[in-house]
Amino acid sequence: MKKVSLKDIATLSGASPSTVSFVLNGKEKEMRISERLAKKIKAVATREGYKPNQVAVSLRTGQSKILGLIVESIGGNFFGALARIIEHEADKYGYRIVYCSTENNLAKGQEMIRMLSNSQVDGYLITPVEGLEKDIEELLRHKKPLVLIDGFFPDVPAPYVLVNNISGITEGMNHLIKKGYKKIGFVTVEMDLVQIRQREQAYTAALKKHKIPAQKSLIFRLPYNYEKEAGVEGLCSFIRKHPELEAIFFATNYLGITGLQSLRQLDLRIPQDIAVICFDDHDIFSLYPPGIASIKQPVEEIGKTAINLLLKQLGKDEMSSDKGGIEIQGTLVERGST
């Protein structure tokens, strides 16, 4: 099928190619083109399915109309949903999204930033990876529009959007303690990122607030890239070592899923033998009997807020003066596991 050209639109509408170009680029008023002719040209372009040459548009405007999205794992429940929301919102403004996954690997994160920079994307949406500070600072020095998602670097003045980790963990802990649980374990990952640190700190703070001794031995950490079998066995060992445990708070949903496998392997019933709650919901949690309680992240609000912050920067000659962060409240989803 032959691609419709600007000259074809000019012939069909009875206007010159330059007039058609002005109209399709929104300059009809500036060039004093009549409203009647402008409407005719736009109608013909729509009818014929005209699509502008993106390379030519980029050369003319200095914009690629492409945004780079770098996340931990595009296949994850949270990041997959986030990517769909961002893509939907960006499409409203004529932007396309290029997806990249880092698997929380610094070298891969740096490689993805270089690749997107070479592709001349207009802006960046990035999930921070431990050690990526200098690369983010370099983008900021070059006035590149960017927004961090699901984390931030305390010493890097970049705008960010994420769930309020502290209030989420606090709400979950209050829920467990209100139910009468005091021996509460906390399962997290070995990762030096602010959101992970905040979740553990909030767990400890909640115990102290309720005058419950905070025992370091009840905190268990798995390597981020743990093998499934090793993770299940590691958790089994932790639970066997602490038969006094009444409840476990999992710091992420994928840790929670590993935990459910461990509890099944140990023939422990939920919640009769041990209660369970997870930070970040997952489809599995509503299906797994008796239903797993969670702190649900406001994925849609996070995605929309992040893309709107980026579009705000793209709409200006200078980067937005707003370098602060936005933290959005999560929601406690009560289910049978507590």
Amino acid letter, residue 83: A
Q: Is residue 57 in a domain?
A: no
Give the domain extent around 240: 165-296
Residue 68 is inside which H or E element, if any? Answer: strand 66-71
Pair of tokens at residue 329? 């409240």
- Looking at the fold, whether 144 and 212 belong to one and the same domain comes out as no
Shared domain for 14 and 81, answered yes or no, is no
* Separation between Cα atoms, residue 163 and residue 187, nearest integer Å: 19
Are residues 117 and 94 part of one domain?
A: yes
pLDDT confidence of residue 62: 58
Q: Which residues of the chain have pLDDT under 70?
A: 1-2, 52-63, 316-323
Compute the distance between CA of residue 239 and CA of residue 21 in angstroms, rounded to an integer.
Answer: 69
> Is residue 337 assigned to a domain?
no
Which pLDDT value is given to residue 61? 53
Quote the strand ranges of 102-143, DSSP E. Answer: 123-126
153 and 92 within one domain: yes
Pairing of strands 184-190, 219-223: parallel
CATH number of the domain that residue 38 is part of: 1.10.260.40
CATH of the domain at 150: 3.40.50.2300
Do residues 189 and 196 make contact, with C-beta atoms less than 8 angstroms apart? yes
Partner residues linked to 331 by β-bridges = 296
What pLDDT does 318 receive?
A: 43
Domain count along the chain:
3
DSSP state of 76: S
Residue 334 lies in a domain: no
93/183 same-domain check? no
Domain annotation covers residue 336: no
Give me the pLDDT at residue 63, please: 67
pLDDT score of 58 = 54
Residues 158 and 304 in one domain: yes
Where residue 335 falls (left for φ over 0; alpha for ψ -120 to 50; beta otherwise) is: beta
Peptide bond preceding 271 in cis form (omega within 30 of 0) = yes
pLDDT digits (tens, 9 = 90+) for 23-74: 887 788 888 899 999 999 999 988 888 876 655 555 455 567 899 999 988 7
Region of 103 (left: φ > 0; alpha: ψ -120 to 50; beta: rest) is: left
Which pLDDT score is estimated for 319?
Answer: 44
Same domain, 183 and 290: yes
User: In this structure, what are the phi and psi dihedrals at residue 273, rounded to the nearest 5 degrees?
Assistant: -95, -35
Contact of 252 with 277, CB cutoff 8 Å: no
Residue 75 placed within a domain: yes
Are 156 and 169 members of one domain? no
Q: Quick one: 156 and 251 in the same domain?
A: no
What's the pLDDT at 94? 84
Task: Specify whether 288 is located in the same domain as 185.
Answer: yes
Neighbours of 54 (CB within 10 A): 12
Domain assignment of residue 27, yes or no: yes
pLDDT tens digits for 307-328? 999 999 988 534 444 567 999 9
Residues 330 and 295 sit within 8 Å (Cβ to Cβ)? yes
Which pLDDT does position 320 carry in this prediction? 46
Q: What is the pLDDT of residue 57?
A: 55
Whether 155 is covered by a domain: the verdict is yes
- Residue 236 located in a structural domain: yes
Tell whether 119 and 87 lie within a shared domain.
Answer: yes
Report the pLDDT value the prediction gives residue 322, as an integer from 0 to 100: 54
The pair of structure tokens assigned to 200 is 């553990």
Whole-model pTM?
0.80
Question: Are 43 and 103 found together in one domain?
Answer: no
| Single-letter amino acid code for the residue at 162 | L
Find out whether 99 and 85 touch, Cβ atoms under 8 Å.
Answer: no
